[in-house]
Amino acid sequence: MHRRSFLKSTSILLASSFLPIPSVLGNDNTSLIKPASLASGDKVAVMAPAGAVFNTRYISRIRQALDSLGMEVVLGDSVYSKYGYLAGTDRQRAEEFNRFIADSSVKAIIAMRGGWGCSRMLPLINYELVKQNPKIVMGLSDITSLLLGLYTKANLVTFHGLVGYASWNDFSVGHFKKVVMENKAYSMVNDDNTQRSAYTIVGGKAEGILAGGNLTVLSTMLGSEYVPNWSGKILFLEDLNEEPYSIDRMLTHLKIAGVLDQINGLIFGNCKRCYSSDPKASFTIKQLLKQHIEPLGIPAYYGSNIGHISNKFTVPIGVKASIDADNKVITLLDSAMRP
């Protein structure tokens, strides 16, 4: 046996002798569960699985947006509930989510906002019920933990995209419709402004299963039973209001936890207002991505319509896709919905 192979296999055996085996090793994509496509007239539940809704004007805004698509909107009690900065206790939010999952008349659950709180209710979700009643679950930011938890524990395709606080503009709604209503496998092309600020980290093309979300949330989930097996994934990330040293810390966490060494490709969608209060004593995000991602040698780029920006893609977690890091394009290779 080659010395490097021997040392590697020996270290793995030694590590496995002392480390606990996680209760969930990831998801099985061979039994992937897809929700049914959304159609005009369907009932859509809007709830707050994380932070409380302090600005109520967004409630009428999302109702109007969904009404314009012909949806019947039902609002969860969590939209009006406040428990500190949370939209109700963990049990209240989880029980409401489970009720919407169990309700066969509800075809989709869309989060009002992120904030913080989804991870707190993950142990209270009925994942067997989710498997029996698959439906669209969509959000971003803190909702990352819910999306990844459902994908990992129930093999459900989930959707990183619009929330009640988002701008339901023509670009975002157009991509929402293509993915969850028209059920299209298609190419996601950046808008002009995003494309102008995008750049290639490592050129080339890659294929894999899309998974990811907010970097801050994702990094805090590592080591839990609610994150998938990262082997062969296309990892997409985004963040907001984080200084470069914080992004550095979290990317380092992904590296030493083994995530970055397993993935096939990487998209860093948008890092909004991620700059240092003292630029002369800091790296830029571009420099950090060069340090952490370029050595991986996998196709990777910065700048996609993913994250805390007005124009958003609807990105299905669990669906096979390809990326072109030179042209900054994501192409879905399979539909995200069942017919």
Indicate the angle between helix axes 285-292 and 244-256, nearest 10 degrees: 10
Annotation marks residue 175 as catalytic: no
89, with CB counted inside 10 A (0-12, 13-18, 19+), is middle
What single letter denotes the amino acid at residue 303?
A: G
Q: Which of 141, 145, 172, 304 is catalytic?
A: 141
Q: Which of 95, 96, 238, 242 is catalytic?
A: 238
**Phi then psi dihedrals of residue 48, to 5 deg:** -115, 90
Specify the length of the chain in residues: 339
Annotation marks residue 308 as catalytic: yes
Q: Which of 95, 219, 308, 322 is catalytic?
A: 308
**Catalytically annotated residues:** 141, 238, 308
